Amino acid sequence: MTVTAREQEPGSTYTVHPGADGAGVVRRTVLPGGLRIVTETMPTVRSVAFGIWAGVGSRDESHQEAGASHFLEHLLFKGTPKRTALEMSSLMDAVGGEMNAFTAKEYTCYYARVLDSDLPLAIDVVSDMVTASLIESQDVEAERGVILEEIAMHDDDPTDAVHDEFAAALFGDAPLGRPILGTVESISSLGQERIAGYYRDRYVAPNLVVAAAGNLDHDEVVRLVAAAFEASLGDAGRPPNTPRIEGAGAEVNPGVRSLDRPTEQANLILGTIGITRTDERRFALGVLNAALGGGMSSRLFQEIREKRGLAYSVYSYNSQYADTGTFGVYAGCLPAKVDEVLAICRDEVAKVAGGGITADELERGKGQLRGSFVLGLEDTGSRMSRIGKSELVYDSLLSVDDILARIEAVTLDDVRAIGEEVLGRPMTLSVIGPFEGRDFSL
């Protein structure tokens, strides 16, 4: 049974998954005002991962706010009325903990990993920075320079930049087509007042999820979080002032986006629109992805690297969002070999779109998907991320057994159908390399 924050009585606790012998128990509490707290108990470890997830990312930004979510992520580490930036980092260093954050297209996460005995400290520090950061003008100016350096570093790495170029080619000027970091122009123009307003409007209780996994007691986590958020929960019942900016665009923008760079290697992505994160066919698409370019036995790896030695790195991937998704094939090769590599990528994509995969590929794809999923949950950080992200962006948290069963249930017909739909769409191409004047649309 799925219980949403609106349905669950404030202050009550709901067991999402009972686990076994006290391990893997997932519990959920909704505080008055809408703040959600989810935990997973792992009594055999001596650590805890604690995170606060905000349902805001780069796709929620207007043109004038481009890069604001990531800019704000930096600023939340700069100090609160309770402690300075140095005091925050010193407290975590003193207990051997780690604290960090990341910004994605649709959410931002602030997290810490500590010994189980130091969980109260982690909750206090991370909650304080998320709810009470100062966002002072001098910190905005200092971090502006840091972020401009980060953008320059990102642009200097073609393996990173080609993904931004692909998003821009596929989605155009829609929010999902813009880089998470923003641009030099947008970051240079963002002022303290706009960022502080973005913080006040978006970081409200209904938009936040607190997640923790490890050797913990759920009731203690709830008590500590409630105390840490006490000052900020007075107006937590109000919704954010600015809703999510939708309209990424489900229409494919077939075409080419080529960036001339004097690089030693060409980097390319060939891809198209995928499916949403709640689409039940995502498990079939995952199996297809594994067969096409997900491992050393995949078609792309075998054809491009093993048989012909044309590239060191080649893979396929798929990403899902609230209302759309992407599917892409990446390859890095010598500029002189880009035509041959691109032709093989197109050919293999067309084969899967037209005829699906073999029975052997189906079984290998299932096994790879099962193994990577389970092995990726072997530490507290990944467990915290799974329950936190699920609470934030999914309707329910599927158990590990549920997910494994859904992977196992995928058939050849399922893969063939999703392959025909997704890979049969017009393709978009992004290329970075020394190709001045080259028309890849031909």
- The sheet with strand 428-433 has its strands ordered as 255-260, 428-433, 266-273, 325-333, 311-320
Tokens of 124: 């206090």
CA distance 326 to 285: 11
Domain regions of the chain by residue span: 13-232, 255-433
Q: What is the pLDDT of residue 239?
A: 44
**Could you give the CA distance from residue 352 to residue 419 in angstroms, rounded to a whole number?**
6
420 is catalytic: no
**Which CATH code is given to the segment(s) 13-232?**
3.30.830.10
Q: Which of 40, 61, 65, 73 is catalytic?
A: 73
CA distance 216 to 44: 10
**10-residue block means of pLDDT along the chain (442 residues)?**
56 75 85 94 96 97 95 98 97 98 98 98 97 96 97 95 96 93 97 96 95 97 95 49 51 79 96 96 98 96 97 96 96 97 97 96 97 94 97 90 96 98 96 90 69
Q: Helices in 273-358 by DSSP H: which ranges?
A: 282-293, 299-300, 338-355
The pTM score is 0.92
Q: Tokens 């320059």 appear where? A: 152
Structure tokens that stand for 409 in this block: 């249930």
The upper half-sphere exposure of residue 158, i.e. CA atoms within 13 Å in the direction of its Cβ, equals 21
Closest C-alpha to 75, from 193, 185, 183 = 193
User: Which pairs count as long-range contacts for 339-343, CB under 8 Å and 24+ apart, including other chains?
Assistant: 340/308, 340/310, 341/268, 341/304, 341/310, 341/311, 341/314, 342/268, 342/270, 342/429
Specify whether domain 255-433 bears CATH 3.30.830.10: yes
